[in-house]
Structure 1
Amino acid sequence: MQVTETLAEGLKREIKVVIPKQDMAAELNVRLADAKDKVRINGFRPGKVPMAHLKKMYGKSIMADLVNEIVRERPTKILSERGEKSATQPSISMTEDEAEAEKILSAEADFEFTVSYEVIPPIELKSVDGISVTREVVEIAEDEVNEQILKIAESARTYETKKGKAADGDRVTMNYLGKVDGVAFDGGAAEDAELVLGSGRFIPGFEDQLVGLKAGEDKVITVTFPTEYPAANLAGKEATFDVTIKDVAAPAEVEINDELASKLGLESVDRLKEIVRGQIESQYGNITRQKVKRQILDQLDEMYQFDAPPSLVDAEFENIWRQINTDLAQSGKTFEDEETTEEEARAEYRKLAERRVRLGLVLSEIGEKAGVEVTEEEMQRALYAQLQQFPGQQKEILDFFRNTPGASASLRAPIFEEKVVDQLLTEIKVTDKTVTKEELMAEEEGEADAKPAKKKAAPKKAKAEASEAEGEEAAAPKKKAAPKKKAAEDSAE
C-alpha cells in the first residue's frame, strides 16, 4: 500500500492511497479459499469447487466487500500511523468510471482512493498552577427556608366554595373565550379553568376585572396583550374575553405543621424543612458551579489560542445561528430590534462558535491525559433523563439514539465536560467567598439581559463555549429567549 500526501494546507489534509492490483488479487484469493469450504454449489461436493469457478461466481462480490472494508478501516489506521486525528469523518473519493471500477473488481487495476480531512491541531497542555477561581457560597438563612415552605403551603392550600363576590386571593373557576377583532384565536379558550385572583398568571388587567363577580355571572373583559408577548400574532393587540364564572372559592388558612408535611408525603415538618433547605442549597450550588466553571474556561481561553478546524466551527455556528433565528421568529423580532445587524450578529456568534470548539478540544485533551472516562451507568442515566423529558415518546427517543450515528455523543459530551471540570477543581486554586444570594444572582441577571450588540465580551462569557468535550457538534441551545437573552451562550449549562 502506498500512501502519498497530496495536500497540507493549514489544517486541511488530503492523501492518496494506492493498493497494488497484485495485493488486491492476493487478498481475493485468500477470501476465495476461505469461502471454498463454506459455499454449496450444485454439482460439486463441499470443498471441491474449482477456484476458477468460484472466482467467476463470487469474485466480484467478494472484491466489492473488500473495497468497502478497505475504505471503512484503512483511513483510521493511516491517520493513526501519521499521528493525526480527524476533526470529522474523513471524506473518501474514488473513481466513478464504470470501466475502471470493473477492472478494480477484477483485480486488473490498482485500487486508488483519496482521503480528505481536517486535522485536530496538536495541543500541548500547559500547567494549570496559575489558574485560580473564587467560589461564591451562600449561607441559607432560616427565614428563606420558611419563606419557601410558605409558598409550598400556599400552593397546596385548599379552597372552599363561598357565596358572594370574588375578592383578591379567591379562586374562581370559569369558562372563557378570547377574541381579537371579534375572531376567536388559538389557545384563547378554556372550560373549568381555575385562577387565583392576584396571582398574576393571566394577561395584565384580566384578573382585576374578575374581582367582584359572583358564581353564575357573565362578563366581557377587555385587555391588551403586552407588546413583547411571545405569540407575535397577539403581541400589542386588544382582545376581548367572554367569561362565565362557575364557582368562587375562598382560601383556607395556611398552617405549616406535620399535617402539611403528611399531605406532601413526608413524615414531619422537620423533614420538609430539611428537603427545602437541600433544594435551595442545590439551586445556589448550581449557579456557583457555573460561575466557577466560567472562570476556569475564561482562563483556559486565554492560555490556548490556536486555529480550530473550520468544519467543526461551521457546524457549531450553524447550530447556534439556527437557534438564534428560531428565537427571533418566535418573538416576532428582528436584529434591528435587538440593536444590532445580521452581519454583526453573525460575526459575533462566529467568534462564539470558534471559542466553543477550541475549548472543547482543550477539555478533551485534558480529560484524555487525566484518564477521565464516562461510564455506561452515567450514559444510561443521561438517556433516562432524556426519556423523562418526552413522556409517551420513549420508543422514538430510544430508536433515535440507537440508529443515529453520533447521537450518543450528545449525551456523553456534557458528562465528560463536567468530569473534566471536576478534575481541574482538584488541581487549581479555589478560594471560597461567602456572599448574599443577591450578590450571587446579580451577575447572572445582568448577563441574561445583555443584547448581542452590547456583548463585546460575549466570547469570554463562557456559559456554553465548551459543550463539545470531544469536538462533536454541541447540543442546540435550550433557552427560548431572543438573542438578548444570550441563548446561544447558555447551552452548556
Structure 2
Amino acid sequence: MATAVETLDKLERRLTISFPIADVQSEVEKRLKLRARTAKAPGFRPGKVPMKMVAAQHGYQVENEVLNDKVGQAFNAAANENKLRVAGYPRIEPKSGEGVAEGSLAFDATFEIYPEVVVGDLSSAEVEQVKAEVSDAEIDKTIDILRKQRVHFHVKGEQGAHGDGGDLSAKNGDRATLDFVGKIDGVEFAGGKAEDFAFVLGEGRMLPEFEAATLGLRSGESKTFPLSFPADYHGKDVAGKTAEFTVTLKKLEWAHLPEVDAEFAKSLGVDDGDLVKMRADIKENLEREVKGRVKAKTKDSVMDALVKAVEFDVPKSLVEQDGQRLAEMTRQDMAQRGMNVADVPFPPELFTVQAERRVRLGLILAELVKANNLQATAEQIKAQVEDFAQSYEDPQQVVKYYFSDRNRLAEVEALVLEENVVNYVLGKSKVTDKVLPFDELMGNNA
C-alpha cells in the first residue's frame, strides 16, 4: 500500500510505501528453495545441500533482492495509481516508528516528477537563419590548400626537374633543418636543445624570435640571439624568462607545389584529369560542407530561441544524470586521444550548465514532436542516410552500413527529428537571414 503523495518542492514529491513482512519472508523462502536445487557445497552433491546451509550462504543476498523487488513493485504501482511521471530514480529510505503498521515494512520514496512543458506562441521568437555561398574564390583557396598538402621539398641550390630554388638564404615557405641549443644564465635547460630539427618557416610553429633569427641564414651558417619566452608559455620552467639561443642551419629546402594540371586532378580522384570536372567536384564537396555547417548554426539559433521562449523547472535528478554522462564521455574522449586521465577528476558539477540545457531542450523537443506530429518518417530517414552516403566512394556500402544496425539508424532518426523541429520553428517564428562569409563559417578567419 502507499500513502497520499506529499509535495515537498516544485517538482519533488514523497510517498510512503509498505507491505507485510510475511510477504517478504515467503518470497525469500521460495527463492532459497530454487537456489537449493543447484546449490553446491563441499561434501554434498549438487542440489542436496541442506536448506540451513543454503540460507546461511545466500540468505542475505536473496533478502536484499526481494526487498528491492518489493519496493520497486510497490513504488511503480503507487506511481501508476497516482498517474505520476517520475523523473530519474526515487531515493528510498527505511521508515520506522509511528505510522508503520505492526508486521509491515515501510519506506519513504522521495522523487521528482516531469514538469508540464507548454510551448506557446512562437511568433515573437527571434531566429537567425544562416546562409553562405561557395564562389570561385573559395574553390581557388581550396585548390591552394590541396596543393600545399601535396608539397614536395628540394634542397636549395641543387638543380632538379623543377629548378634549384633560387636564392640560397632561408625565407618563408622553406623547410629548415637545424641544430639549436638554448641557455638561461649560461646553463642549458630541458627541451632547449635539439639536433636535425626541421620546421617550415612562416607556419608559426616556432616562436616569432626563433623564426626571425632563422630567416636569411644559409646552409652551414650559425646565429646567436636572445629569445624571451611568453609568461603563459607551456613550459613553466622557462615561462617569462629570456634565453640565449644558438642555431646552426644544416639543410635548407624549398617548397615545390604541384601544378594544377591533369596529373593534379587525377590525384584528387578525377580519373580523366579534367580540370573543369575537378573544380565541379570541389565545389560540390564544399557546398555539402557548407550545407551541414549552415544547418548546424541555424539549429543552434532555433534551440537558443526555444530555451528563451519556454520556461519551466527542470528535474535536478535528470540534470545530475546527464552531468555524469557528460563527465564520462569527456573522460573517454580524452583517453581515446592518448591522454592519461586515470587520476584526473571529472566532477559532474563542471557539466551542470551544459547538462541543464540539454535536459531542458530534450523536454521541449519531446513536447513539440508529440504535439505537432513531427516524428521522423521512414522516407526521411532513408533520404538522410543516402545524403550521408554521397560523400563516400561507395554510397551503397554506406547505406547498408546504416541499415544493418538499429542503433545507427536511431542516431539518424534523432537528427531527422531535430531537423523537423527546426523547420517547424522556422515556420512559426520571426526569422532573420544572416549571410556569413565563407571563411567565417568554416572557421578560417585566422
| TM-score bracket, shorter-length normalisation | 0.5 to 0.7
Deviations 1:199-250 (A, max 9, x none): 3332113222112222233333433334555566655443333323221112
Deviation at 1:20, TM superposition (A): 1.1
Matched, 1:159 2:156: no
Q: Give percent identity, aligned residues only.
A: 27
Matched, 1:200 2:194: no
2: CA distance, partners of 1:277 / 1:303: 38
Greater C-alpha Rg: 2
Structure-2 change in CA distance of 1:70 and 1:266 (3 Å): farther
Matched, 1:290 2:290: no
Check conservation: 2:126, 2:432, Cα contact below 8 A: no
Check conservation: 1:363, 1:417, Cα contact below 8 A: no
Matched, 1:421 2:418: yes
Structure-2 change in CA distance of 1:46 and 1:167 (3 Å): closer
Deviation at 1:424, TM superposition (A): 0.9
TM-score (structure 2 length as normaliser): 0.65
Q: How does 1:223-372 map to 2 (within 5 A)?
A: 223-226=227-230, 229=233, 234-252=238-256, 254-263=258-267, 267=271, 268=273, 269-270=275-276, 272-312=278-318, 355-367=357-369, 370=373
- 2:207 corresponds to which letter in structure 1? I
Structure-2 change in CA distance of 1:227 and 1:29 (3 Å): closer
- 2:283 corresponds to which letter in structure 1? R
Structure-2 change in CA distance of 1:180 and 1:17 (3 Å): farther
Deviation at 1:66, TM superposition (A): 0.9
Structure 1 residue runs of 5 or longer lacking an equivalent are 101-107, 324-348, 382-408, 449-493
Matched, 1:123 2:120: no
- Residue 89 of structure 2 is matched in structure 1 by 89
- Residue 397 of structure 2 is matched in structure 1 by none
Check conservation: 1:160, 1:249, Cα contact below 8 A: yes
- Residue 17 of structure 1 is matched in structure 2 by 17
- Residue 435 of structure 1 is matched in structure 2 by 435
2: CA distance, partners of 1:9 / 1:118: 9
The alignment partner of 2:148 has SS state of helix
Deviation at 1:81, TM superposition (A): 4.4
Q: Which sits farther off after the overlay, 309-318 or 66-75?
A: 309-318
2: CA distance, partners of 1:81 / 1:183: 79
1: CA distance, partners of 2:112 / 2:260: 63
Check conservation: 1:129, 1:427, Cα contact below 8 A: no
Check conservation: 1:374, 1:415, Cα contact below 8 A: no
Aligned residues: 378
Check conservation: 2:87, 2:318, Cα contact below 8 A: yes
Deviations 1:323-357 (A, max 9, x none): 9xxxxxxxxxxxxxxxxxxxxxxxxx987775554
2: CA distance, partners of 1:211 / 1:353: 50
1: CA distance, partners of 2:287 / 2:152: 29
Structure-2 change in CA distance of 1:144 and 1:177 (3 Å): same
2: CA distance, partners of 1:266 / 1:372: 40
2: CA distance, partners of 1:419 / 1:156: 38
1: CA distance, partners of 2:213 / 2:60: 82
2: CA distance, partners of 1:233 / 1:368: 59
1: CA distance, partners of 2:411 / 2:225: 48
Structure-2 change in CA distance of 1:80 and 1:436 (3 Å): same
Structure-2 change in CA distance of 1:245 and 1:315 (3 Å): farther
Deviations 1:31-81 (A, max 9, x none): 456557666899999999999998788665533331233345654554454
The alignment partner of 2:179 has SS state of strand
Q: Find the partner of 2:143 among 129, 135, 149.
A: 149
The alignment partner of 1:428 has SS state of helix
Check conservation: 1:16, 1:112, Cα contact below 8 A: yes
Structure-2 change in CA distance of 1:416 and 1:186 (3 Å): farther
Structure-2 change in CA distance of 1:360 and 1:48 (3 Å): closer
Deviation at 1:123, TM superposition (A): 1.8
